[in-house]
Amino acid sequence: MSSKPLTWVPIGGCGEVGKNMMMFEYDDAILIIDAGVMFPESDMLGVDAVIPDYNFLKDKRHKVRGIVITHGHEDHTGAIHYVVRDFPNVPIYATPLTRGLLEVKLREAKLLDRVQLHTIKVGDEVTIGPFHIETFRMCHSIPDNIGMGIKTPAGLVVLSGDFKFDHTPVDGKPSDFAKLAELGGRGVLALFADSTNAERAGSTPSEREIEPTFEHIFRDAEGRIIVATFASLISRVQQVVNVCDLYGRKLAIAGTSMGENVKMAQKMGYLTIPPGMLVRLEDAIKMPPHEVAIVATGTQGEPSAVLARMAVGKHPLINVVPGDTIVMSAHPIPGNEEYVHRVINRLFQKGAEVFYDPVAKVHVSGHASQEEQKLLISLIRPKFFIPVHGELRMLRAHARLAREMGIPAENIFVVENGTPIRFHEGKAEQLPRLPGGYVFVDGSGVGDVERSVIREREALARDGFVVVVIHRDAQGKLAKPPEIITRGFIYFKESDAFMRAMAQTVSEALRDLKPGASEDAIKNRTIDALNRLIYSETRRKPMIIPIVS
């Protein structure tokens, strides 16, 4: 056993620890796992995406030996074009489907010719510097997902990756229990395990359990059927294909990302569609409704996605009408509930029948619940246990399970993003948190929107703004009454009197100003006087911007 330490760091996203990215460092070598993005939280106003803050790695750029992507979901792949730009020559390892999905992204970003992509098959072993990686199959809601045993001079660590123990997965390929047991038998220093569903008792149902519901829905629907799901949920698409086959419906795909993923998965053999079943959306809408099913994106209620546009009549091809049956085959990601429910209400408003959880069993989670999490711990029997891939509350719930299973509390580490854990000579310790957190992406800007800009947006969202233009004459006196311009503050068509009152208030506040008064003095007086008036009349606090000319 070596005398050098192994350090692990979960790298930030919003809230979920080590979900989007993590790294191991041993001696002069760094291994990166995953490169994902997070959806912004609802008060990260105007932010399009959040990427992990891996700035601390840039100083150590020369040490980074490889990047392994565990599976093809956005929260594990979506930052790949940023990572590739920052670590241009580092080889990237992924299983075939994951690689296919990465290539779609890299092609879009015009980076495909600048990366070294290596295909590994599930079960392959690969050595990256001091890290000897043994991959194994773990079920998840996408095929070709891997867990990893990583042999290092400091010991053997195991990463569950995102997983569930589905004994009857759609692709017929269950998690590799034998490998897990074998790793466990070798003595595992640390297990990093998926905490997503640590608050849920029991076991997550198999993907198969939704099939009877789908069959009922397809049997009874007299019109068109639209199944909404995630663009990367290839196995769900396979299930829709199967039930279309059973009831003789054609299938069309709505949504660019969904279309590309289906094409790629089909080409690579991860999706089997009978010849002639797939039709173009343009053709599908001309066929008798009961002969067609459509798979679409937009399960999170995103206003710009296919489903929401259909629900409000803004989709160029499809307008939801009475007789349509909609299946929401996904759960809302926490924070999206309100938008998802709104879309469901709108679909009902349009006269459609809507099936969604909990009124119908049309989705199951892709993550292990408590009984599966316990089984994983039993198989691996690690010395140290580190719950990952969850918010703090989920990690705590997972840690509680581990304690109940006999792992001593001092061997369990619940840490936040940016907090390293160092393993050395069979011991583990938590190090001080590294500076940094996460980085906002807004439009094409990465990191140019800071917390301070978000705070301005919050203030603007709450009460809008008031611009006051103050015209001075040569003597420094008011040349004419101040101009007032507001947005997001009050409904100006009914507020003429108040607009005049604001102008009047500013005029009075500036009346006895001395000739040589500074611009700042004028601005401060204006802001004070307007704040007082506005708050006393409206109890609001719009942002006030005086302009002195």
Active site residues: 194, 367
Any bridge partners for residue 91, and if so which?
none
Token couple for 29: 């070598």
Among 338, 508, 519, 528, which residue interacts with its own copies (rule: CB under 8 A)?
338
E strand spans, 337-388: 353-356, 384-388
Residue 302: burial class (beta carbons within 10 Å; 0-12, 13-18, 19+): middle
Tell me how far, at minimum, the Cβ of 132 lies from its own copies, in Å.
36
Closest CA to 146 of 162, 170, 130, 132: 162
Tell me how far, at minimum, the Cβ of 395 lies from its own copies, in Å.
8
Cα torsion through 199, 201, 206, 212, rounded to 10: -110
Measured from the CB atom, the residue of 337 and 425 that comes closer to its own copies is 337
Among 283, 429, 450, 520, which residue interacts with its own copies (rule: CB under 8 A)?
450
Among 27, 348, 383, 503, which residue interacts with its own copies (rule: CB under 8 A)?
348
Measured from the CB atom, the residue of 356 and 423 that comes closer to its own copies is 356
| Interface region with its own copies, contact rule CB under 8 A, candidates 25-33, 184-192, 197-205, 309-317 | 197-205
Does 461 interact with its own copies (rule: CB under 8 A)? yes
Among 464, 478, 507, 517, which residue interacts with its own copies (rule: CB under 8 A)?
464
Measured from the CB atom, the residue of 424 and 457 that comes closer to its own copies is 457
Q: In a 3-state reduction of DSSP, which class is residue 35?
A: coil
| Interface region with its own copies, contact rule CB under 8 A, candidates 40-48, 145-153, 158-166, 239-247 | 40-48
Does 549 interact with its own copies (rule: CB under 8 A)? yes
Question: How many other C-beta atoms are found inside a 10 Å radius of the C-beta of residue 436?
Answer: 16
Gap between the Cα atoms of 365 and 518, Å rounded: 63
Residues in 295-334 at the binding interface with its own copies, rule: CB under 8 A: 334
Gap between the Cα atoms of 149 and 33, Å rounded: 13
Looking at residue 303, the DSSP 8-state letter turns out to be: T
Does 488 interact with its own copies (rule: CB under 8 A)? yes
Does 453 interact with its own copies (rule: CB under 8 A)? yes
Does 54 interact with its own copies (rule: CB under 8 A)? no
Q: For 133, list phi and psi in degrees, rounded to 5.
A: -100, 130
Does 85 interact with its own copies (rule: CB under 8 A)? no
Measured from the CB atom, the residue of 29 and 533 that comes closer to its own copies is 533
Measured from the CB atom, the residue of 381 and 471 that comes closer to its own copies is 471
Does 467 interact with its own copies (rule: CB under 8 A)? yes
Cis ω on the peptide bond leading into residue 358 (within 30° of 0)? yes
Q: Please check whether residue 335 is in contact with residue 39, taking contact to mean a CB–CB distance below 8 angstroms.
A: yes
Does 519 interact with its own copies (rule: CB under 8 A)? no
Q: For 32, list phi and psi in degrees, rounded to 5.
A: -100, 135
Q: Please check whether residue 544 is in contact with residue 465, taking contact to mean a CB–CB distance below 8 angstroms.
A: yes
Residues in 420-449 at the binding interface with its own copies, rule: CB under 8 A: 442-445, 448-449
Token couple for 104: 């779609």
Gap between the Cα atoms of 390 and 18, Å rounded: 8
Does 60 interact with its own copies (rule: CB under 8 A)? no
Count the residues in the chain: 549
Does 490 interact with its own copies (rule: CB under 8 A)? yes
Does 495 interact with its own copies (rule: CB under 8 A)? yes
Tell me how far, at minimum, the Cβ of 150 lies from its own copies, in Å.
29
Does 469 interact with its own copies (rule: CB under 8 A)? yes
Q: What's the start-to-end Cα distance of the chain, in Å?
A: 74
Does 532 interact with its own copies (rule: CB under 8 A)? no
Gap between the Cα atoms of 89 and 428, Å rounded: 32
Does 281 interact with its own copies (rule: CB under 8 A)? no
Q: Please check whether residue 378 is in contact with residue 370, taking contact to mean a CB–CB distance below 8 angstroms.
A: no
Does 458 interact with its own copies (rule: CB under 8 A)? yes
Q: Which amino acid, one-letter code, is at 169?
A: P
Does 364 interact with its own copies (rule: CB under 8 A)? no
| Interface region with its own copies, contact rule CB under 8 A, candidates 199-207, 270-278, 289-297, 426-434 | 199-207
Gap between the Cα atoms of 346 and 275, Å rounded: 35
Residues in 373-392 at the binding interface with its own copies, rule: CB under 8 A: 391-392
Does 494 interact with its own copies (rule: CB under 8 A)? yes
Gap between the Cα atoms of 384 and 382, Å rounded: 5
Does 247 interact with its own copies (rule: CB under 8 A)? no
Does 522 interact with its own copies (rule: CB under 8 A)? no
Token couple for 246: 């059973």
Closest CA to 142 of 106, 171, 112: 171
Q: What angle do CA 81, 85, 89 make, to 5 degrees?
A: 110
Q: Which stretches of the chain bind its own copies, using CB under 8 A?
A: 15, 41-42, 45-46, 199-201, 334-335, 337-338, 341-342, 344-345, 348-349, 354, 356, 358-359, 391-393, 396-397, 416, 442-445, 448-450, 452-454, 456-465, 467, 469, 471, 483, 485, 487-491, 494-495, 537-540, 543, 545, 547, 549
